[in-house]
């Protein structure tokens, strides 16, 4: 009798265990998994010096979505998208799903905000496309674009991907010649400097000066360095004196940039030398060095550097 009770107990445990596993499996296959990206909340978006330059700042640097810095818009995204597994056919996009692009108009004095939900566009709805990745941004012909290669859908058990290009201004979606158009915009990128600062180590010298403020310079843009949390302090610079309302938000900045349509390398370089020099000093001390003689030449302007390059053709050849 005892043995029978033990057997029944063991069978009951096994049955309960099997039911528990079955329940977990049923829950798993019926549980939707979503990609969730929270919209970035901006502290400030400020234009200065005839609206050629933009400073973007946020309150929570470590808890934000991607930010896209354009000629006409500063944008971010907010996403709640079902990560569908392998299915025969993609299910319709649910009412709870969205892929929003939130843009602030730099040409509007009030930085008017607009939202575009990709999932509400007719072609996306009809073909049941989804996107679970962040976007890439491009600039061309005076316009800002966003793009991605992997809008995806399932049709009759097959997985398909679609590239697209989005005109933010007109909210128009393009599916033809996407790669070609993106490549054309990339090759015409205004920030691709024609004059390298590598000869003479000028780029390194400039970077070393900016690192004193926990800043990095990347062709037309300034971003915080990796160790910048609450350490950016430009209070004793010409920039703080010239643009006090902008400078007070530098500690929370994500990027300071020269708008692409207005960008030119000479103006950017000369501004950096002046902006981040100590208050009252004309320019930062940066140098180009002759690698053979060790002679250092202070560079006080972009024209100074062009003259140095002309006088040191062998140094320039090393980087061609």
d(CA 304, CA 268): 14
Write the pLDDT tens digit of every residue in 36-45: 999 999 999 9
Tokens of 271: 């501004």
Question: Is the predicted pLDDT of residue 20 greater than 50, yes or no?
Answer: no
d(CA 132, CA 259): 29
Tokens of 180: 């070609």
- If one compares 42 and 65, the residue with the highest pLDDT of the two is 42
Over range 2-23, report the average pLDDT.
Answer: 54
| Residue 2 pLDDT | 55
| Residue 17 pLDDT | 54
| Residue 12 pLDDT | 57
Quote the pTM value.
Answer: 0.86
Quick one: which of 199, 221, 195, 225 has its CA closest to 213? Answer: 225
Long-range contacts of 306-309 (CB under 8 A, 24+ apart): 306/195, 308/200, 309/195, 309/199, 309/200
Whether the Cβ atoms of residue 75 and residue 102 lie closer than 8 Å to each other: yes
Residue 243 CA to its chain's centroid (Å): 25
Quick one: which of 102, 89, 79 has its CA closest to 152? Answer: 89
CB atoms within 10 A of CB 4: 8
- If one compares 194 and 241, the residue with the highest pLDDT of the two is 241
Percent of the chain whose predicted confidence (pLDDT) is above 70: 89
CA angle 128, 133, 135 (to 5 degrees): 105
Question: Is the predicted pLDDT of residue 27 greater than 90, yes or no?
Answer: no
Write the pLDDT tens digit of every residue in 70-116: 999 999 999 999 999 889 999 999 999 999 999 999 999 999 999 99
Number of continuous H segments (helices) and E segments (strands) in the chain: 9, 16
End-to-end CA distance of the chain: 92
d(CA 293, CA 315): 11
Whether the Cβ atoms of residue 295 and residue 218 lie closer than 8 Å to each other: no
């Amino acid at each position: 009798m005892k043995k029978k009770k033990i057997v029944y107990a063991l069978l009951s445990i096994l049955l309960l265990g099997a039911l528990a596993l079955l329940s977990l499996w049923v829950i798993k296959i019926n549980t939707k998994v979503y990609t969730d990206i929270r919209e970035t909340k901006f502290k400030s978006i400020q234009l200065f010096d005839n609206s050629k330059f933009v400073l973007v700042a946020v309150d929570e640097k470590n808890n934000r979505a991607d930010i896209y810095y354009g000629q006409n818009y500063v944008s971010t995204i907010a996403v709640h998208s079902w990560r569908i597994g392998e299915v025969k056919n993609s299910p319709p996009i649910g009412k709870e799903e969205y892929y929003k692009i939130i843009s602030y108009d730099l040409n509007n004095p009030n930085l008017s905000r607009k939202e575009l939900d990709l999932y509400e566009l007719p072609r996306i709805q009809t073909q049941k496309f989804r996107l679970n990745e962040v976007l890439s941004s491009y600039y061309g012909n005076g316009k800002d674009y966003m793009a991605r290669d992997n809008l995806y859908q399932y049709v009759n058990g097959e997985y398909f991907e679609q590239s697209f290009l989005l005109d933010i201004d007109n909210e128009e979606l393009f599916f033809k010649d996407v790669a070609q158009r993106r490549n054309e915009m990339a090759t015409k990128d205004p920030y691709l400097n024609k004059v390298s600062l590598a000869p003479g180590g000028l780029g390194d010298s400039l970077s070393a000066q900016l690192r004193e403020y926990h800043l990095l310079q990347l062709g037309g843009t300034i971003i915080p360095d990796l160790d910048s949390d609450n350490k950016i302090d430009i209070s004793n610079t010409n920039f703080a004196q010239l643009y006090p309302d902008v400078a007070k938000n530098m500690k929370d900045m994500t990027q300071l940039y020269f708008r692409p349509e207005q960008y030119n390398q000479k103006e950017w370089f000369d501004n950096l030398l002046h902006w981040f020099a100590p208050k009252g000093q004309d320019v930062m001390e940066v140098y180009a060095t002759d690698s053979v003689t060790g002679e250092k030449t202070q560079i006080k302007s972009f024209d100074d550097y062009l003259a140095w390059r002309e006088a040191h053709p062998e140094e320039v050849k090393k980087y061609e």
